[in-house]
Structure 1
Amino acid sequence: MDKSFVGQWPSSSEQWVPTLLQLTAHLKEGGGGGAALRRWFEIGFDSLGGELRSNVLDMAHNQASQAVGPVKGISAALFSGHLGSTGYQERRREYSPSTWQEFLAELENLPRMASLELFALNSNGMPVNPSMLISSQRFGHAGEWLTLAIMIKPQLQPDDGRWPPALDLLKRTAETVEVSHGSISFLDSIFSTPLELALHMPSEDAIPRSRKLLRGYGWITILGEEMGTRLGGETGLRNTGAFAEVAHLSNGGFWLKATSFLGAYRGPQAEKVRSVLAPLLPNAGYVK
């Protein structure tokens, strides 16, 4: 089995490898999930935005007050897409306090796609890193699958103060939806997982099967209720010895943390996780 997709800390010297938080959930018939979607964007921006967020707020303040100040070049845009009577419609707005509140309110109605995109700008006004992307998209024939993602460049270092809120956001959001998968990896692909890319498996095929086949694994892995139960539930998973932390989520599903600290998650630990989760992984010979 190719070990390149196990979610280890990147070995490359390239500093712009991102940190990627992902969550997949099944939307209950008749709705649900809107409050979780809003919280993903709102808390994600507030707690993980770092210097980019500070610069965006400074920019918005200066524009409102017509002040001229030492704000770094920054681009902040909001996107949302809906299915209307005339087909799919997408809207783009520049960030401001009022458009942000309007956008957050729209999220409660579960748009087909939504995105907050933040980029630093170079002297020519072109997007560069650092950057942050908070996104959601609905998959499936009736849009019954919701995927959430946050991508941060450069990657969060093991001692970055944003790790605790990142873990809290991922876990708390998973506890408010019917979760089928969640993870943290280091990947420059917003909706695919490292495992899916390694197996050439399109995410639009993998997501609707994510209750039965695991989309990936890593330092943090979230299993849906059915899959965790197949492996013995909370007690069975804890008894494997492959995880430093196992928790049964309040709304169903299982939170698995391979090691107490990210820096300790390397090949041997990843192999333990892979071995335990092997019955849930898709066939490595999968071909579309």
Structure 2
Amino acid sequence: MDLYVEVDVDNPSSRIVEDWFNGALSTLFSALTEWESSGSGAVTSIASICRADGAETERFTSDRGGWRHLLDELTPIPYSASLVYFSGEVEIGRVKASQISSGTDHVTLSIGLHCGDEALASAEYCAWISESLRDVMKSMNPGFGRVEYGSFSNRTNLDIGLRRKHKDSVVEARDVLRGYAWVTLCPSELAERLGGAGSLSQSGAFHGVYELDSGGVLLQASETVAGYTDDVMDGVFRTLAPVLPPGVPRKSAAHPANRLVAKDASVASRDSP
């Protein structure tokens, strides 16, 4: 798959997890749902739920392409739940929710999409991704979120570069921004420290700045994923530096595709006008 979407929610409710699956099915996965319901066999899907850490995984099949029965299984919030679409034996889409073992209540909501290079360079397709994500998140006030190309780790670019523990990064998400990407979801607490949506929009670092209904802002760095160049990334880094964790990030042999600016955010923040 090509595109990875992740949203971290603290103190989640079953409704939020259900909204994530339902929203994904009605927006980003609507075409896959229609293809499967046609009965052609070109697209198939399977779901799994693990209700507690260490519990046996239960598997589910669709009802003629429909997944209403899966949504009914998301209360109470399971330890993990996923819905995977296939074309033949090739995975082409995934929706997932999983609890984070952080000592507090956190859930990671994620989506993986197979879309191809042409779609990643399409302004129309990328606008659809951004709009769909905003629609799915109407009821959420996330601690953090991101959309990026080719990265399917639950650790952000700065978690990897600064060797931050995933647990610490999640718990501190409303104190320091966990990372940045083509699309970055910034919680309301940090957006306020950056001057709010108006100031972020005026910075010129983002193609789009969108306030979320339940708090925070969605920051879209460039019109397309393909347009998220190193220069664009540097502008995002400099604008977000005041709320990023300090330290000089390093390359990781285990994550060669990890993209970041190899500068100390605390220094960049002091040097900014």
- TM-score with structure 2 length normalisation? 0.77
* Residue 71 (1) aligns with residue 41 (2): yes
The counterpart of 2:182, out of the listed 219, 224, 230, is 219
Q: After superposition, what is the alpha-carbon deviation per residue over 1:175-218, rounded to whole angstroms, capped at 9, x for unaligned?
A: 41221112210134253333333444443332222112222212
Please say if residues 140 and 208 of structure 1, whose CA atoms lie closer than 8 Å, have aligned partners that are also in contact.
no
| Distance in 1 of aligned mates of 2:76 and 2:45 | 22
Q: CA RMSD in A?
A: 2.9
What residue in structure 2 maps to residue 21 of structure 1? 5
Q: After superposition, what is the alpha-carbon deviation per residue over 1:129-170, rounded to whole angstroms, capped at 9, x for unaligned?
A: 5x1111111114555112111101244433275544432232
| Gap runs ≥5 in structure 1 | 1-15, 60-69, 122-126
* Residue 177 (1) aligns with residue 177 (2): no
Q: After superposition, what is the alpha-carbon deviation per residue over 1:93-138, rounded to whole angstroms, capped at 9, x for unaligned?
A: 22334982221112243222110012222xxxxx325x11111111
The counterpart of 1:106, out of the listed 52, 73, 98, is 73
Whose relative contact order is higher, 1 or 2, with alpha carbons under 8 Å and at least 6 apart?
1
What residue in structure 2 maps to residue 168 of structure 1? 131
The counterpart of 1:242, out of the listed 159, 183, 205, is 205
Instruction: Report the structure, 1 or 2, having the larger strand content.
Output: 1
What residue in structure 2 maps to residue 191 of structure 1? 154
Identity among equivalent positions (%) equals 22
Deviation at residue 259 of structure 1 after TM alignment = 2.9
| Distance in 2 of aligned mates of 1:248 and 1:242 | 16
| Distance in 2 of aligned mates of 1:88 and 1:286 | 37
Please say if residues 151 and 190 of structure 1, whose CA atoms lie closer than 8 Å, have aligned partners that are also in contact.
no
* Residue 136 (1) aligns with residue 97 (2): yes
Change (3 A) 1:91 1:205: farther
Deviation at residue 51 of structure 1 after TM alignment = 5.8
Change (3 A) 1:163 1:53: farther
| Gap runs ≥5 in structure 2 | 251-273
- TM-score with structure 1 length normalisation? 0.74
Deviation at residue 250 of structure 1 after TM alignment = 2.3
Matches within 5 A, 1:75-90: 75-83=44-52, 88-90=55-57
Please say if residues 94 and 113 of structure 2, whose CA atoms lie closer than 8 Å, have aligned partners that are also in contact.
yes
Aligned residues: 248
Deviation at residue 227 of structure 1 after TM alignment = 1.0
Letter in 2 for 1:145: H
Higher-Rg structure is 1
Letter in 1 for 2:10: H
